[in-house]
């Protein structure tokens, strides 16, 4: 199956912060998210996806990141196959050098 998601550089996420129809999702555990996260990101731990506890909007661009980019890559592949518009941040939050929210 053709991959229908894009992997973007961590610095490129700044082009999406605060935009309408964009949902930036931090897949790390809540305690990690609460320490620091990319501005406007919401926290939905990866385990919640595995347990199928989450429903996401199909009409928004989803930008996913985790710690290093591994879990977000897996989930981006899965969600894109389900018809979501998805981008994955290469290298996760560790690659992000911008201002973080706490």
| Residues with catalytic roles | 66
**Separation between Cα atoms, residue 40 and residue 23, nearest integer Å:** 8
- What are the angstrom distances between the C-alpha of 8 and each of 25, 55, 100, 101? 14, 24, 18, 20
**Token duo for residue 75:** 């989930």
Residue 18 neighbours by CB distance under 10 Å: 9
């Amino acid at each position: 199956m053709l991959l229908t998601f894009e992997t973007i550089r961590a610095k490129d996420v700044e082009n999406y912060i605060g935009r309408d129809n964009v949902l930036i999702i931090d897949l790390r555990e809540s305690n990690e998210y609460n320490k620091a996260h990319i501005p406007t990101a919401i926290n939905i731990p990866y385990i919640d996806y595995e347990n199928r506890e989450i429903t996401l909007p199909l009409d928004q661009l989803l930008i996913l990141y985790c710690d290093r980019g591994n879990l977000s890559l897996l989930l981006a592949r899965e969600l894109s196959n389900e018809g979501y518009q998805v981008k994955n941040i290469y290298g996760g939050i560790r690659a992000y050098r911008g201002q973080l929210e706490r």
